[in-house]
Structure 1
């Protein structure tokens, strides 16, 4: 049995959930026993804590789970593609053999969502339910609105009205604009299969489903309960967890008025990010939402299962900075920005400068202040990691380091002789863009910036490093000795990572568990301040 309630939250989710629970109880509450409860959607954590959810699920997993269940039990099919357009956002999901292999979400642009369609319908003086689809499906010449921003789209609709366009053609044009916006901004070049489920509240509008079918020349399936398929999936996931753990449900009951809860907003000052936080206390148990940077308030999700492998990201971070000892003094202090390729080469440069007798000083971990300062000091509009790098340079200057080490790295070593691996152009030119920034021009002479081509062998690196360190009075023999020690440290670091990876793969193979590979540039994956 599925009880469907599709309604607005009107900015008051707790009140609306309370009202919906009462409606469920009035209709079937005395005849059923709640075995499990799950939440999903944008407010899933807050509502999950309030009602006592057994699972709090992301929307992709919930929609996929609900869609497959309804497809199997009611439609005798298996979707390979899900289009979901809700009131505020939209999603694309690609499925192969029951596994999500790709997905995308659009949360920034309102022009491809149900709320946009409702607003335009209201401006045209027509009902979004029934009348909109009826008018659109009878159109003879839909106007061309394209996929523009909602502000410009509104202007275009007004312009067509002034030219005498009828409501039938305007509504059909709006339906097509939703489709083109979704396909171009959300799906892009991703694969679209042959069994397409169209879900979400917008799928109640037959005109949108028809527009999808015409544009793609494919059959579009609007499954039963399309507006609440995510909720169906959340319920199924809750059932699955209860069956696996054999635990009693944590569901607090139908009457939320009986639940003692408070909500408090405050600013966390644990670091310079100053996150805007919410403290949600339910029956004396506190949870926190809104932090962007640390585990100070974050409660980790638990599954009741012990991982079969170690946390490899945490291990990498630990061994990467294992040799960092800023308390040890030296003949001068070398500042290393804790950004970009330092997340790959810190063992190399830490050992190199320590062997030469210098103190190594890293900048602070990436935070909101560093990013803001970097944005203000960079000379153009590069990507976020490059902007953050400028902030790290400023952070080191505030620590009064003697020298800044910002190498001009061209390429990297690869395990294959005929394969090149070049750093991006912004990464290659880092010392130059930093030097020309007005905030750093005064310290340009304090920047050590050798040109390094790791792919081309140690001798070239040695010559470039020796030349760059001449102002510090270093002898070539000392530089060579330090470089050899540095390469050994880097090789040892990489070997530990390889060994840990092999151990993890063996454990996964033995246990039969599924492993996920997190691929990305080291400075994005491992720099938590960039997430």
Structure 2
């Protein structure tokens, strides 16, 4: 209430645009750095809320489209600054009833009353029951899977309760979901099959982030054959994100990239002496687009890590540039890059390891497609709907996808990923430069 009141007396409201709140947070921080007062920020936010509602949600072409006599409702309009911002944007005085925050509830009650069938007697609680009504709220974490959904448990007495915040039916039914027809779960399981093997050259850690969700089979086989004990950081959690949060240089970089900092820090904290995280301009050529680049974030984020995480200076951090898209030249280039760190490596060793790495990646890709086709075939046979979760390799990370695969599969729907169906088509014409591997699949 105090914050809203301050906005009414702002002299220079900041322009925060009308974008998503994720970007709004960054804009507010920038405004603070530029010296904006709390009053200016409060007023700026109120204006943004109004502009977002008018032009992004209602999609009015101009304020006139809403007319000259306007009544507002909803809890948001109890904020005087938002109300005033709305009046200024509309150019009219509007009516706000003193029960604005309850009007939706009254409307729902009137609607249900008018639609009720039977003898006209209400099944709602009577006055006496309402007098003894109990409502307790408890917030907890589910813990039945790695998703750790934040549950809000509403208890109404007499054993009656309502659970909200769950992304699947498990907290209610207590039954474990089957992952048989969920390609996201299958992929995670496939990656977990790559267990560390003790090696003469010591331990070599890799961050399980961004393109590593797809490239890990290649690098695992390559370095295991070179007698390293290869391991990766765990799949992302909130705790892992927070471990590297203070070293993130940009608020506007994508969340999957922000997670890399936590993965690198986790590997260092767990005693990794060598971390391999290569720069890769190109991906494998899948012949679906005009080129096969990795996006700039995926391609060059190792440079960001090297320049912003001081702890990587304490270990052997390998961020060399590799071109896996050129199998003929890869062994020689890889040998030149790695021999700077491991002088005892031989070119012959690297050649043998590279051949097995390409075989492993090919085998992994074929296994993904085969398993996906199996899911499609089984779903069609059982008459189930099939959904393609069209994302990028790192969207199988539970902290990134927020359990959307579990939510969808709880509706008895089969799930396949974009790389299962993209090989079913040949390259086709597009009206844009189609040069990014992940986008070409989509």
Mark yes or no: TM-score above 0.5: yes
| CA apart distance, 1:476 | 1.6
Gaps of 5+ in 1: 1-103, 110-149, 157-173, 191-199, 206-225, 236-250
Secondary structure in 2 matching 1:401: coil
TM-score (norm: length of structure 1): 0.49
What corresponds to 1:476 in structure 2?
A: 347
Q: Is the 8 A contact 2:179 2:186 kept in 1?
A: no
Deviation at 1:290, TM superposition (A): 6.1
* Conserved? CA contact 2:144–2:170, under 8 Å: no
Q: 1:498 aligns with which of 369, 374, 389?
A: 369
The answer to which of 504-513 and 433-442 deviates more is 504-513
Tell me: CA distance 1:230–1:454, structure 2 relative to 1, closer, same or farther (3 Å): farther
Kindly indicate which of the two structures has a greater share of residues assigned to strand: 1
- Aligned partners of 1:309 and 1:507 also within 8 Å: no
Q: Does 1:325 find its partner at 2:192? A: no
1:386 correspondence with 2:265: no
Decide which of 261, 267, 272 is 1:396's aligned counterpart: 267
Please report how far the alpha carbon of residue 458 of structure 1 lies from its aligned counterpart in structure 2 after TM superposition.
0.8
Q: What per-residue deviation string (whole Å, max 9, x for no partner) do you get for residues 419-463 of structure 1?
A: 31211222222222222225235236x1223322333x2123222
Determine the structure 1 residue equivalent to 2:208.
Answer: 338
Report the alpha carbon displacement of residue 528 of structure 1 after superposing the two structures with TM.
1.0
Give the equivalent residue in structure 2 for 1:439: 310
* CA distance 1:474–1:230, change in 2 (3 Å): farther
Contact in 2 for aligned 1:352/1:486 (Cα 8 Å): yes
Equivalent pair of 2:179/2:185 in contact (CA under 8 Å): no
Q: CA RMSD in A?
A: 5.5
User: Quick one: distance in 2 between partners of 1:307 and 1:407?
Assistant: 36
**Given the alignment of the two structures, is residue 372 of structure 1 paired with residue 242 of structure 2, yes or no?**
yes
- What count of residue pairs does the alignment treat as equivalent? 335
Point out where structure 2 has 5 or more consecutive residues left out of the alignment. Answer: 1-18, 25-37, 61-71, 78-102, 113-122, 403-442
The residue that corresponds to 1:453 in the other structure is 323
> Which residue does 1:413 correspond to in 2?
284
Q: How does 1:47-446 map to 2 (within 5 A)?
A: 180-182=51-53, 184-186=55-57, 255=129, 262-265=136-139, 278-280=152-154, 283-284=158-159, 299=170, 310-322=181-193, 324-326=194-196, 328-331=197-200, 332-381=202-251, 382-416=253-287, 419-443=290-314, 446=316
Secondary structure at the aligned position of 1:410 is classed as coil
CA distance in 2, matches of 1:508, 1:272: 26
User: What TM-score do the two structures reach when normalised by structure 2?
Assistant: 0.58
Partner SS, residue 516 of structure 1? strand
Q: 1:354 to 1:309 in 2, by over 3 A?
A: closer
What is the CA deviation profile of residues 84-115 of structure 1, one whole-angstrom value per residue up to 9, with x for unaligned ones? xxxxxxxxxxxxxxxxxxxx998998xxxxxx
CA contact (8 A) 1:366 1:527 kept: yes
CA contact (8 A) 2:163 2:172 kept: no
Once residues 510 and 267 of structure 1 are traced to their aligned partners in structure 2, the CA distance between those partners, rounded to angstroms, is 37
Q: Is 1:527 equivalent to 2:397 in the alignment?
A: yes
SS of the aligned residue for 2:170 comes to coil
Between stretches 470-479 and 505-514, larger displacement belongs to 505-514
